[in-house]
Structure 1
Amino acid sequence: MQCEPYDQSFVDAVRAGGPDANGQPAERAVSDGAGNPCRSCLRDIARGEAMLVLAARPFPVPQPYAETGPIFLHAESCTPWRGDGVPPVLETSPDYLVKGYGADDRIRYGTGAIVAANRIAAEVAARLARDDVAYVDLRSARNNCFLTRVRGSADIG
């Protein structure tokens, strides 16, 4: 399973003062160390570190299924997540919201579910095995905030 960090061009633009998905500059804050996952490195932002709070829409264009919501980023550059397996942002909660989307960026009904953290890889693989699912979004089960996206093969190796 290869989780994707948030689009780097968007991350760089927002860090440089550019607008978020709502056309506003990101808010600057200091992490309290709990529940502030960076959508670039896919790790929690440590207590005392500067962070950005902003609106993000992880879809190419606005449309009815293109959800916009809050995300956090390290205020300073961090190394975007690369690698197989479950990133740290998916190891801090007992469960997550999993949803499959088609190549048209529209949700595929029947793919949404709250999934136990230890079942994430298997549940993502099951959705990616469907012919009508191009990618799976993982979100907070408590606040519905976008965390990461997984595309491609159902291989969870």
Structure 2
Amino acid sequence: MDTTATATATATATATAADADAAVATALDVRAVPAPVLAALRRADDAGHAREAFVTGTGGHPLRCCLTRARPGDRITLLSYAPLLRWAAETGCDPGPYLETGPVFVHAEPCAGHPGGWPEGFHGGPRVLRAYSADGRILGGRVGEPGELPSLAAELLDDPATAVLHVRAVEFGCFLHEVRRG
């Protein structure tokens, strides 16, 4: 058996799979918390609380403003955020009991935001992709590892009944970011 040919075929298949995943990721519209929403949340969050900024000693906090991880010494804020609230206002739907509020970390001051594309390095473990219908109801979801999240998101959004996805932490259930069709 020619090991060189096998290695080349394996490398080509791996590169092709990586290229396909990259193409999927660029077709998705990955959204951090928008800057105008952040400005309002920094004044009073969705639970009506004033922000409490602090300097992180260890870093690693998932920042929903730019979809990166906080570095040691970053000044960040923990806020209450209702992600379906903005989407519902934009689309005119009423998500009813699915309108939930939860904690999110953001930079204490405005940052450059998310540059677009799938946030590489942001997801450190398994995540839940929760699918919502156009009327704001949960349709279902999938759990996936970081490397498979873009293709799982594309698969869920291939269902015409799915209007939007929320990516959430498995361990705490916290909202991380939104994904729409690109």
**For the superposition of Structure 1 and Structure 2, which TM-score range results when normalised by the shorter chain?**
0.7 to 0.9
Q: Distance in 1 between matches of 2:152 and 2:39?
A: 31
Percent identical residues: 29
- Equivalent residue, structure 2, for 1:72: 105
Structure with greater helix share of residues: 2
SS in 2 for 1:112: strand
Q: Which residue of 1 aligns with 2:16?
A: none
State the partner residue of 1:40.
65
Query: Do the aligned residues in 1 keep the contact of 2:35 with 2:110 (CA within 8 Å)?
Result: no
Partner residue, 1:152: 181
2:124 matched to 1:97? no
Per-residue Cα deviation, 1:45-98 (whole angstroms, up to 9, x for no partner): 1111111111100012672112211000111211111222334322xx221111
User: Structure 1 counterpart of 2:171, which letter?
Assistant: R
Give 1:1-20 correspondences, 5 Å limit. 1-15=28-42, 18-20=43-45
State whether residues 89 and 147 of structure 1, in contact with CA within 8 Å, keep that contact through their aligned partners in structure 2.
no
Which structure is larger by alpha-carbon Rg, 1 or 2? 2
Q: Residue 12 of structure 2 corresponds to which residue in structure 1?
A: none
Q: Distance in 2 between the 1:113 and 1:30 partners?
A: 34
AA partner of residue 80 (structure 2): A
TM-score, normalising length: structure 2: 0.74
Which of 49, 57, 81 is matched with 2:114 structurally? 81
Q: In 2, distance between residues paired with 1:87 and 1:151?
A: 17
Give the equivalent residue in structure 2 for 1:142: 171
Question: Quick one: distance in 2 between partners of 1:113 and 1:3?
Answer: 17
C-alpha contact (below 8 Å) 1:140/1:147 kept by paired residues? yes
Q: Is the 8 A contact 2:31 2:116 kept in 1?
A: no
**Whole-Å separation in 2 of the counterparts to 1:88 and 1:3:** 14
Q: Within 2, Cα distance between the matches of 1:88 and 1:11?
A: 22
Tell me the distance in 2 between the aligned counterparts of 1:55 and 1:123: 27
- Is 1:131 the counterpart of 2:164? The answer is no
- Listed one character per residue, the Cα deviations across residues 114-157 of structure 1 (whole Å, up to 9, x for unaligned) are 2111110111011100011011110111111100001015xxxx
Verify the 8 A CA contact 1:28 1:50 in the aligned structure 2: yes
Give the number of equivalent residue pairs: 147
